[in-house]
Structure formats: structure tokens, C-alpha cells
Amino acid sequence: MTDFADRPTAGTQTESPGGVPVVEFQGVSKTFTTRSGESIEALRDVDLSVQPGELLTIVGVSGCGKSTLLRLVAGLVQPTSGRLLYEGEERTGARDDLGVVFQESVLFPWRTVLDNALVPAVIKRARRAEVEPRVRQLLADVGLSGFEKKYPFELSGGMKQRTALVAALSTEPSVLLMDEPFGALDAMTREQMNVDLRRLWQERSNTIILITHDVAEAVFLGTRALVMTPRPGRIKADMEIDLGAERDISLLGTAEFATLTGKVRRELDMN
């Protein structure tokens, strides 16, 4: 579709003109109070700035606060302390200008693939006629043409997550939040989804924040990877992933890839 040679790649974003971070965490902490009254410190003192066009991946053990971090960005929960800036400004309330793909498929079982992909447009009261061609094109892009009229129960897990991804992209959000989107998929489907996601990201210029607990996924996808500590989650390591813009499945077998995954894994293990 588009020429992606001129896209900013890893390492170049920080010097991009303007350089206002899409999302910025300034000393953000989040403590939950459970029903039984105890406090759970999910995140402690997180500083993070996400640059435009970045594909930021975040790895960490289960329960370390990854989803909480993403829910903060989405405005679904508020920080206990610290500040969250969007393009340099503070905002309150749920954000509706983001695309989200959650851990579990959130497809509506009573809607077809096409209608599920149109949910964001329906909620935002966009004109269907305007959005539908784009959505159909996106469905074709992720290999779902011919499945527009199928219902979620007629789809495989991978197809459901593709549909969720199309829905998230349908309103052309500048920031896409993905919380272990491929976590429930088998290894082969997941690799293919990773390749497809890279391609989709290169064809657009969204910023993506993707949570995963899979080190290979974090390295393969990311232009930058963060490693979090166990709860309370803090950012332990912040690595640029210099694997070039064009990545395909053969990358998984290379020495550079192994070195980088090794580095990330060591950071995770040192906790």
C-alpha cells in the first residue's frame, strides 16, 4: 500500500520534529482497594513516554500491572498519584479516541464479523456508508474477506482477534492499545498474527502499545520493549529493538533476534 521506507524506525523517533509524546506517565502509581478492604499496589512510580509512531511492547510476569497500565492510558482507571499526559495535556475521563484490543475477545455474539467491526462506528454515530468501505478493506487486509457475514461462534480464535483488530482500527485511532491480543492463540497462529500486525502498523502510522508476556513477541513486534518488575510494577528496562523496519518470520531464527530475546529474558529473570 504505502512505501514504508520513509517511516521513522526505532531510534529515530526521539529526534522527530515536535517530539511531543503521545502519552506520557509522570510518576504514576496505582493502588487498588479490594472488596475486603486490603490495598494492592499495582503500579509504582511509572515514568514513561510514548513517541508518535512507536510500536511499544511491554513484557512482565502475570499480575505485575500490565493491564492496569493500559487501562490507565484508556482512562478506565485513574492514577492514585502522578500525572498522565496526552500530547502534553492532562485530560480526565474515559478516552474515546483510542483503539483497543483486549485480552479476551469482546466480540458481540449476536453481530456478524462486519457488524462487530462496525461497533466503534455505531457507538461514535459515524455514517455507516463512510466507514463500511474502509472496514471491508481492513477485513480483506487481515484475510477475512468472505467472512463478513459469519458470526463469532463460527470463527476460530485467530479470526476473532483479527475481527477485534479491524474494529479497533476502523475509526483510524492514532493510538492503538493492545492487551495480550494474541495470548489465547496457538504458537503458529500467533506468529502469523505478529507478522500481519507488523505489516498493518507499517502501512499506517499509528502508535501502538502492546502488552504481552511472550518475550519473542515483544522483540519481534516492538520498535522498543519495556520490561516490568513483578507487582508493584515498575519499569525495569527500556530497550530499543534495532531489528530494522521490515521483519518477517525468518527473523525469528537469526542470531540478533536470539541475542535480543536473551537480553529481555535476563531482565525478566533477574527480578
Partner 1 sequence: MASLVETSRTTPPRTRDIARNAGLFLVTFAVFVAAWEGFLRVLDISAILVPSPSSVVGALHTSLTTRPTGPGSYLSGAVSTYAAAISGFAIASVAGVLVAIVLAQSLTLERILVPYIVGFQTLPRIAIAPLFIIWFGNETESKIILATLVAFFPVLMNSLAGFKSTPPERIEYLRTLGATRLQLFWRLQLPGATPYVFAGLEVALVFAILGVIVSEFVGGRRGLGVLILQSHYSIDVAGVFSVFVILIVIGLTLRMLLVGARKRVAFWAEGEDSAAL
Ligand X SMILES: Nc1ncnc2c1ncn2[C@@H]1O[C@H](COP(=O)(O)OP(=O)(O)OP(=O)(O)O)[C@@H](O)[C@H]1O
44 or 66: CB nearest ligand X:
66
The CB-of-219 to ligand X minimum distance in angstroms stands at 18
For residue 231, state whether it binds ligand X (rule: CB under 6 A): yes
Q: By C-beta, is 139 or 268 nearer to partner 1?
A: 139
With 0-12 / 13-18 / 19 or more C-beta atoms within 10 angstroms meaning exposed / middle / buried, residue 130 is exposed
Q: Is 67 among the residues that bind Mg ion (CB under 5 A)?
A: yes
Residue 68 interacts with ligand X (CB under 6 A): yes or no: yes
Quick one: 76 or 258, whose CB is closer to partner 1?
76
Q: Could you say whether residue 65 binds ligand X (CB under 6 A)?
A: yes
Asked if 42 interacts with ligand X (CB under 6 A), we say yes
The window from 18-26, 65-73, 195-203, 252-260 that contacts Mg ion (CB under 5 A) reads 65-73
CB of 143 to ligand X, least distance (A): 27
Our CB check for ligand X shows the closer of 60 and 152 to be 60
Q: Is the Cβ of residue 160 or residue 231 nearer to ligand X in the bound state? A: 231
Judged by CB under 6 A, the chain residues 22 through 41 that form the site for ligand X are 32, 34, 40
- Residue 223's binding partner among partner 1, Mg ion, ligand X, none (Cβ under 5 to 8 angstroms by kind) is none
Dihedral (CA of 147, 177, 179, 120) sign = negative
Q: Among residue numbers 94 through 133, which ones bind ligand X (CB under 6 A)?
A: none
- Other CB atoms within a 10 A radius of the CB of residue 95 amount to 17
Q: Is 44 or 204 the residue whose CB approaches ligand X more closely? A: 44
Q: How many residues in the shown chain lie near ligand X by CB under 6 A?
A: 14
Closest by CA position to 206, among listed 164, 247, 171: 171
What residue ranges bind ligand X (CB under 6 A)? Answer: 32, 34, 40, 42, 60, 62-68, 213, 231
What residue ranges bind Mg ion (CB under 5 A)? Answer: 67
